[in-house]
Protein backbone atom coordinates (compact mmCIF):
# COMPACT_ATOMS: atom_id res chain seq x y z
CA UNK A 1 0.00 0.00 0.00
CA UNK A 2 1.42 3.38 -1.01
CA UNK A 3 0.15 6.70 0.30
CA UNK A 4 1.09 10.06 -1.22
CA UNK A 5 1.39 13.35 0.59
CA UNK A 6 2.18 16.93 -0.37
CA UNK A 7 3.25 19.43 2.27
CA UNK A 8 1.45 22.71 1.50
CA UNK A 9 1.85 26.10 3.22
CA UNK A 10 -1.35 27.39 4.80
CA UNK A 11 -0.93 30.66 2.85
CA UNK A 12 -1.32 28.78 -0.44
CA UNK A 13 -4.55 27.20 0.78
CA UNK A 14 -6.01 30.61 1.71
CA UNK A 15 -4.95 32.23 -1.57
CA UNK A 16 -6.50 29.36 -3.48
CA UNK A 17 -9.77 29.76 -1.57
CA UNK A 18 -9.84 33.45 -2.45
CA UNK A 19 -9.13 32.76 -6.14
CA UNK A 20 -11.87 30.15 -6.43
CA UNK A 21 -14.40 32.30 -4.57
CA UNK A 22 -13.71 35.35 -6.77
CA UNK A 23 -13.82 33.28 -9.94
CA UNK A 24 -17.18 31.66 -9.29
CA UNK A 25 -18.75 34.86 -7.97
CA UNK A 26 -19.38 35.59 -11.67
CA UNK A 27 -22.23 33.29 -12.81
CA UNK A 28 -20.87 33.42 -16.37
CA UNK A 29 -17.31 32.58 -15.39
CA UNK A 30 -15.72 29.88 -17.56
CA UNK A 31 -14.76 26.56 -15.99
CA UNK A 32 -12.20 25.91 -14.63
CA UNK A 33 -10.11 28.65 -12.97
CA UNK A 34 -7.39 29.97 -15.27
CA UNK A 35 -4.01 28.79 -13.94
CA UNK A 36 -1.85 30.37 -16.66
CA UNK A 37 -0.83 33.33 -14.48
CA UNK A 38 0.40 31.28 -11.56
CA UNK A 39 3.87 30.59 -12.93
CA UNK A 40 5.60 27.76 -11.10
CA UNK A 41 3.54 28.00 -7.92
CA UNK A 42 2.63 24.31 -7.87
CA UNK A 43 1.29 24.43 -4.33
CA UNK A 44 -1.21 27.15 -5.29
CA UNK A 45 -2.25 25.31 -8.46
CA UNK A 46 -2.80 22.06 -6.58
CA UNK A 47 -4.91 23.83 -3.97
CA UNK A 48 -7.03 25.55 -6.64
CA UNK A 49 -7.71 22.27 -8.43
CA UNK A 50 -8.68 20.60 -5.17
CA UNK A 51 -10.95 23.46 -4.13
CA UNK A 52 -12.69 23.38 -7.49
CA UNK A 53 -13.66 19.81 -6.61
CA UNK A 54 -14.99 21.10 -3.30
CA UNK A 55 -16.93 23.83 -5.14
CA UNK A 56 -18.50 21.23 -7.41
CA UNK A 57 -19.45 19.12 -4.40
CA UNK A 58 -20.92 22.18 -2.69
CA UNK A 59 -22.99 22.91 -5.78
CA UNK A 60 -24.40 19.41 -5.76
CA UNK A 61 -25.23 19.67 -2.07
CA UNK A 62 -26.94 23.02 -2.62
CA UNK A 63 -29.50 21.36 -4.90
CA UNK A 64 -30.53 18.89 -2.22
CA UNK A 65 -34.24 19.50 -1.40
CA UNK A 66 -33.51 19.58 2.32
CA UNK A 67 -30.83 22.23 1.87
CA UNK A 68 -33.10 24.32 -0.38
CA UNK A 69 -35.93 24.13 2.17
CA UNK A 70 -33.63 25.21 4.99
CA UNK A 71 -32.35 28.08 2.87
CA UNK A 72 -35.88 29.36 2.16
CA UNK A 73 -36.71 29.14 5.86
CA UNK A 74 -33.65 31.15 6.83
CA UNK A 75 -34.32 33.80 4.18
CA UNK A 76 -37.85 34.25 5.47
CA UNK A 77 -36.64 34.41 9.06
CA UNK A 78 -33.99 37.08 8.51
CA UNK A 79 -35.60 39.09 5.69
CA UNK A 80 -36.75 41.96 7.97
CA UNK A 81 -33.25 42.60 9.23
CA UNK A 82 -31.74 45.31 7.02
CA UNK A 83 -28.59 46.08 8.99
CA UNK A 84 -26.53 43.01 8.05
CA UNK A 85 -24.61 42.52 4.83
CA UNK A 86 -25.56 39.14 3.39
CA UNK A 87 -23.11 39.27 0.50
CA UNK A 88 -20.13 39.88 2.77
CA UNK A 89 -21.32 37.22 5.21
CA UNK A 90 -21.80 34.64 2.48
CA UNK A 91 -18.38 35.48 1.03
CA UNK A 92 -16.73 35.02 4.42
CA UNK A 93 -18.57 31.75 4.94
CA UNK A 94 -17.43 30.53 1.53
CA UNK A 95 -13.79 31.24 2.33
CA UNK A 96 -14.06 29.28 5.58
CA UNK A 97 -15.99 26.50 3.86
CA UNK A 98 -13.45 26.20 1.04
CA UNK A 99 -10.43 26.16 3.33
CA UNK A 100 -12.00 23.66 5.70
CA UNK A 101 -13.60 21.48 3.04
CA UNK A 102 -10.45 21.40 0.96
CA UNK A 103 -8.54 20.21 3.99
CA UNK A 104 -11.06 17.41 4.44
CA UNK A 105 -10.93 16.51 0.76
CA UNK A 106 -7.17 16.43 0.72
CA UNK A 107 -7.01 14.24 3.78
CA UNK A 108 -9.21 11.66 2.06
CA UNK A 109 -8.14 11.73 -1.61
CA UNK A 110 -8.99 9.29 -4.34
CA UNK A 111 -6.63 6.48 -5.20
CA UNK A 112 -3.32 7.73 -6.58
CA UNK A 113 -3.95 11.41 -5.74
CA UNK A 114 -1.17 13.21 -3.83
CA UNK A 115 -2.33 13.90 -0.30
CA UNK A 116 -1.62 17.47 0.78
CA UNK A 117 -1.14 18.02 4.48
CA UNK A 118 0.14 21.11 6.27
CA UNK A 119 1.62 18.96 9.04
CA UNK A 120 5.32 18.24 9.46
CA UNK A 121 5.18 14.66 10.76
CA UNK A 122 4.87 11.66 8.46
CA UNK A 123 4.84 7.98 9.31
CA UNK A 124 4.00 4.57 7.91
CA UNK A 125 2.84 1.36 9.51
CA UNK A 126 3.64 -2.27 8.82
CA UNK A 127 3.32 -3.23 5.14
CA UNK A 128 2.88 0.40 4.11
CA UNK A 129 5.02 2.81 2.08
CA UNK A 130 4.43 6.53 1.54
CA UNK A 131 5.51 9.15 -0.97
CA UNK A 132 5.84 12.68 0.39
CA UNK A 133 6.35 15.89 -1.59
CA UNK A 134 7.79 18.60 0.64
CA UNK A 135 7.14 22.32 0.28
CA UNK A 136 10.53 22.78 -1.43
CA UNK A 137 9.53 20.10 -4.00
CA UNK A 138 11.89 17.50 -2.60
CA UNK A 139 10.49 13.97 -2.75
CA UNK A 140 10.63 11.52 0.13
CA UNK A 141 9.77 7.82 -0.04
CA UNK A 142 9.05 6.37 3.39
CA UNK A 143 9.64 2.66 3.84
CA UNK A 144 7.42 0.44 5.98
CA UNK A 145 7.24 1.23 9.71
CA UNK A 146 9.09 4.53 9.35
CA UNK A 147 8.63 8.08 10.62
CA UNK A 148 10.13 11.50 9.88
CA UNK A 149 9.75 15.04 11.19
CA UNK A 150 10.18 17.89 8.69
CA UNK A 151 11.11 21.52 9.38
CA UNK A 152 11.77 23.81 6.41
CA UNK A 153 12.91 27.41 6.86
CA UNK A 154 14.47 30.12 4.70
CA UNK A 155 17.95 29.01 5.77
CA UNK A 156 17.87 25.23 5.76
CA UNK A 157 15.73 22.14 5.31
CA UNK A 158 15.74 19.78 8.28
CA UNK A 159 14.46 16.21 8.44
CA UNK A 160 14.72 13.97 11.47
CA UNK A 161 14.42 10.24 10.84
CA UNK A 162 12.69 8.88 13.93
CA UNK A 163 12.64 5.24 12.85
CA UNK A 164 12.86 3.05 9.78
CA UNK A 165 14.14 4.11 6.39
CA UNK A 166 13.53 6.88 3.87
CA UNK A 167 14.84 7.81 0.44
CA UNK A 168 15.29 11.51 -0.34
CA UNK A 169 15.31 13.06 -3.81
CA UNK A 170 16.41 16.56 -2.92
CA UNK A 171 15.34 19.62 -4.89
CA UNK A 172 18.40 21.69 -5.80
CA UNK A 173 18.80 24.79 -3.63
CA UNK A 174 22.37 25.73 -2.76
CA UNK A 175 21.19 28.50 -0.44
CA UNK A 176 19.38 26.00 1.81
CA UNK A 177 21.22 22.78 2.70
CA UNK A 178 19.11 19.65 3.11
CA UNK A 179 19.95 18.01 6.44
CA UNK A 180 18.80 14.58 7.57
CA UNK A 181 19.48 13.49 11.13
CA UNK A 182 19.33 9.86 12.25
CA UNK A 183 20.45 9.26 15.80
CA UNK A 184 23.62 11.29 16.21
CA UNK A 185 24.48 11.09 12.50
CA UNK A 186 23.71 13.91 10.08
CA UNK A 187 23.63 13.78 6.27
CA UNK A 188 24.11 17.06 4.41
CA UNK A 189 23.14 17.63 0.77
CA UNK A 190 21.96 20.44 -1.52
CA UNK A 191 20.55 18.54 -4.49
CA UNK A 192 21.03 14.80 -4.72
CA UNK A 193 19.36 11.45 -3.96
CA UNK A 194 20.16 9.20 -1.02
CA UNK A 195 18.55 6.94 1.56
CA UNK A 196 19.01 6.80 5.31
CA UNK A 197 18.13 3.85 7.52
CA UNK A 198 18.07 3.85 11.30
CA UNK A 199 18.53 0.52 13.09
CA UNK A 200 19.05 -0.34 16.73
CA UNK A 201 22.82 0.04 16.70
CA UNK A 202 23.67 1.47 13.31
CA UNK A 203 22.86 4.02 10.63
CA UNK A 204 23.06 3.11 6.94
CA UNK A 205 23.39 5.78 4.23
CA UNK A 206 23.19 4.94 0.52
CA UNK A 207 23.86 7.55 -2.17
CA UNK A 208 22.18 6.98 -5.52
CA UNK A 209 22.91 10.36 -7.12
CA UNK A 210 25.35 13.21 -6.45
CA UNK A 211 27.38 13.51 -3.26
CA UNK A 212 26.62 13.93 0.44
CA UNK A 213 28.57 14.57 3.62
CA UNK A 214 27.90 12.47 6.71
CA UNK A 215 29.03 13.76 10.08
CA UNK A 216 28.84 12.52 13.64
CA UNK A 217 27.06 14.90 16.01
CA UNK A 218 28.20 15.19 19.62
CA UNK A 219 26.02 13.34 22.08
CA UNK A 220 24.63 15.28 25.05
CA UNK A 221 26.99 15.26 28.07
CA UNK A 222 29.54 13.17 26.18
CA UNK A 223 33.23 13.85 26.68
CA UNK A 224 35.17 14.81 23.57
CA UNK A 225 37.78 12.04 23.52
CA UNK A 226 38.38 11.96 19.76
CA UNK A 227 37.47 14.01 16.67
CA UNK A 228 33.98 13.18 15.37
CA UNK A 229 33.71 10.86 12.39
CA UNK A 230 32.86 12.27 8.97
CA UNK A 231 32.65 10.86 5.46
CA UNK A 232 32.26 12.26 1.95
CA UNK A 233 30.11 9.92 -0.12
CA UNK A 234 29.42 9.74 -3.84
CA UNK A 235 26.83 7.94 -5.94
CA UNK A 236 27.02 4.17 -5.72
CA UNK A 237 28.41 3.99 -2.19
CA UNK A 238 27.04 2.84 1.16
CA UNK A 239 28.05 3.91 4.64
CA UNK A 240 27.41 1.63 7.61
CA UNK A 241 28.04 3.36 10.94
CA UNK A 242 27.98 1.07 13.98
CA UNK A 243 27.55 3.23 17.07
CA UNK A 244 30.33 5.85 17.14
CA UNK A 245 33.40 3.73 16.53
CA UNK A 246 33.01 1.59 13.43
CA UNK A 247 32.35 3.37 10.11
CA UNK A 248 32.76 1.64 6.76
CA UNK A 249 32.10 2.84 3.20
CA UNK A 250 31.77 0.39 0.31
CA UNK A 251 30.67 0.40 -3.32
CA UNK A 252 27.18 -1.00 -3.92
CA UNK A 253 24.56 -1.32 -6.66
CA UNK A 254 22.14 1.56 -5.92
CA UNK A 255 19.21 -0.07 -7.71
CA UNK A 256 19.64 -3.27 -5.76
CA UNK A 257 20.09 -1.45 -2.46
CA UNK A 258 16.90 0.58 -2.94
CA UNK A 259 14.75 -2.14 -4.50
CA UNK A 260 12.40 -1.86 -1.49
CA UNK A 261 10.92 1.19 -3.23
CA UNK A 262 9.26 -1.10 -5.76
CA UNK A 263 8.29 -3.80 -3.28
CA UNK A 264 11.31 -6.06 -3.78
CA UNK A 265 13.79 -7.12 -1.14
CA UNK A 266 17.12 -8.25 -2.49
CA UNK A 267 19.62 -10.05 -0.27
CA UNK A 268 23.18 -10.64 -1.33
CA UNK A 269 24.82 -12.71 1.36
CA UNK A 270 22.96 -11.00 4.22
CA UNK A 271 22.70 -12.84 7.55
CA UNK A 272 19.49 -14.84 7.75
CA UNK A 273 18.53 -13.00 10.95
CA UNK A 274 18.79 -9.68 9.11
CA UNK A 275 16.71 -10.95 6.19
CA UNK A 276 14.01 -12.23 8.55
CA UNK A 277 13.81 -8.88 10.34
CA UNK A 278 13.54 -7.12 6.98
CA UNK A 279 10.75 -9.38 5.74
CA UNK A 280 8.80 -8.94 8.97
CA UNK A 281 8.64 -5.18 8.40
CA UNK A 282 6.35 -5.68 5.42
CA UNK A 283 3.78 -8.13 6.76
CA UNK A 284 1.50 -8.55 9.73
CA UNK A 285 2.12 -12.30 9.41
CA UNK A 286 5.45 -12.55 11.20
CA UNK A 287 8.10 -15.20 10.69
CA UNK A 288 9.15 -16.49 14.11
CA UNK A 289 11.74 -19.07 15.12
CA UNK A 290 10.99 -21.72 17.71
CA UNK A 291 13.11 -21.10 20.80
CA UNK A 292 14.46 -17.97 19.04
CA UNK A 293 17.13 -20.12 17.42
CA UNK A 294 18.01 -18.49 14.08
CA UNK A 295 20.67 -20.35 12.06
CA UNK A 296 23.93 -18.52 11.59
CA UNK A 297 23.57 -18.65 7.80
CA UNK A 298 23.54 -16.13 4.97
CA UNK A 299 20.99 -15.79 2.21
CA UNK A 300 20.99 -14.71 -1.44
CA UNK A 301 17.82 -13.99 -3.38
CA UNK A 302 15.07 -11.56 -4.37
CA UNK A 303 11.74 -11.70 -2.54
CA UNK A 304 8.45 -9.87 -2.73
CA UNK A 305 7.95 -7.56 0.24
CA UNK A 306 5.07 -8.86 2.33
CA UNK A 307 5.24 -12.45 1.05
CA UNK A 308 6.25 -14.03 4.33
CA UNK A 309 5.02 -17.48 3.35
CA UNK A 310 6.98 -17.45 0.10
CA UNK A 311 10.12 -16.44 1.98
CA UNK A 312 9.56 -19.18 4.59
CA UNK A 313 9.08 -21.80 1.89
CA UNK A 314 12.24 -20.62 0.12
CA UNK A 315 14.45 -20.93 3.17
CA UNK A 316 12.82 -24.29 3.93
CA UNK A 317 13.77 -25.51 0.46
CA UNK A 318 17.25 -24.15 1.07
CA UNK A 319 17.59 -26.47 4.04
CA UNK A 320 17.79 -23.74 6.65
CA UNK A 321 14.50 -24.34 8.48
CA UNK A 322 11.39 -26.47 8.73
CA UNK A 323 7.92 -24.88 8.78
CA UNK A 324 6.12 -25.96 11.97
CA UNK A 325 2.93 -23.91 12.04
CA UNK A 326 1.15 -21.36 9.87
CA UNK A 327 -1.52 -18.97 11.17
CA UNK A 328 -2.83 -15.60 9.94
CA UNK A 329 -0.58 -13.90 12.51
CA UNK A 330 2.65 -15.83 12.22
CA UNK A 331 4.62 -18.58 10.54
CA UNK A 332 6.63 -20.60 13.03
CA UNK A 333 9.77 -22.34 11.83
CA UNK A 334 12.56 -24.22 13.52
CA UNK A 335 16.18 -24.48 12.55
CA UNK A 336 17.22 -27.67 10.78
CA UNK A 337 19.85 -29.62 12.67
CA UNK A 338 22.95 -30.33 10.58
CA UNK A 339 24.70 -32.69 12.94
HEC readout, the chain = CEEEEEECCHHHHHHHHHHHHHHHCCCCCCCCCCCHHHCCCHHHHHHHHHHHHHHHHHHHHHCCHHHHHHHHHHHHHHCCCCCCCHHHHHHHHHHHHHHHHHHHHHHCCCCCCCEEECCCEEECCCCCEEEEECCCCCEEEECCCCEEEEEECCCCEEEEEEEEEEEEECCCCCCCCEEEEECCEEEEECCCEEEEEECCCEEEEEEEECEEEEEECCCCCCCCCCCCCEEEEECCEEEEEECCCEEEEEECCHHHHCHHHHCEEEEEEEEHHHHHHHHHCCCCCEEEEHHHCCCCCEEEEEEECCCHHHHHHHHHHCCCEEEEEECCCEEEEEECCCC
Q: Is the pLDDT of residue 22 over 60?
A: yes
CATH number of this structure's domain 129-254: 2.60.120.1440
Highest mean pLDDT: which range of 54-68, 166-180, 232-246? 166-180
Q: Is the pLDDT of residue 101 over 60?
A: no
Average pLDDT over residues 43-60: 53
Q: Identify the residue with better confidence: 177 or 61.
A: 177
Average pLDDT over residues 31-54: 57
Q: Is the pLDDT of residue 284 over 70?
A: yes
Q: Where in the chain is the domain with CATH 3.55.50.30?
A: 263-335
CATH architecture of the domain formed by 263-335: 3-Layer(bab) Sandwich (3.55)
Average pLDDT over residues 251-256: 92
What integer pLDDT is reported at residue 327 of this predicted model?
96
Q: Where in the chain is the domain with CATH 2.60.120.1440?
A: 129-254
**pLDDT tens sequence across 298-324:** 999 999 999 999 999 999 999 999 999
Burial degree of 265 (CB within 10 A; 0-12, 13-18, 19+): buried
pTM above 0.95, yes or no: no
Beta bridge partner(s), residue 10: none
Q: Is the pLDDT of residue 60 over 70?
A: no
Beta bridge partner(s), residue 4: 131
Q: Is the pLDDT of residue 224 over 60?
A: no
Range with the poorest average pLDDT among 47-56, 85-94, 312-321:
85-94
What integer pLDDT is reported at residue 105 of this predicted model?
37
- Report which of 125, 81, 123, 103 is spatially closest to residue 8, judged by C-alpha positions: 103
Amino acid sequence: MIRRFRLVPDSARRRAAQRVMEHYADPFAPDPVDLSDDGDDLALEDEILAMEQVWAMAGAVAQDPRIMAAREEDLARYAPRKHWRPVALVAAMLVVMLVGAATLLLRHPGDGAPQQIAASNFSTGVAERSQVVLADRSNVTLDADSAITVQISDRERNVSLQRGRALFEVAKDRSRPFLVRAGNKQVRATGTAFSVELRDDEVIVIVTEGTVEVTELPRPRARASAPPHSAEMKAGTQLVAHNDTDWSVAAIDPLQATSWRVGRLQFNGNPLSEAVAEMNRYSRQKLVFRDDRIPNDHIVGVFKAGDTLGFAQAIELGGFVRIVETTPDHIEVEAVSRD
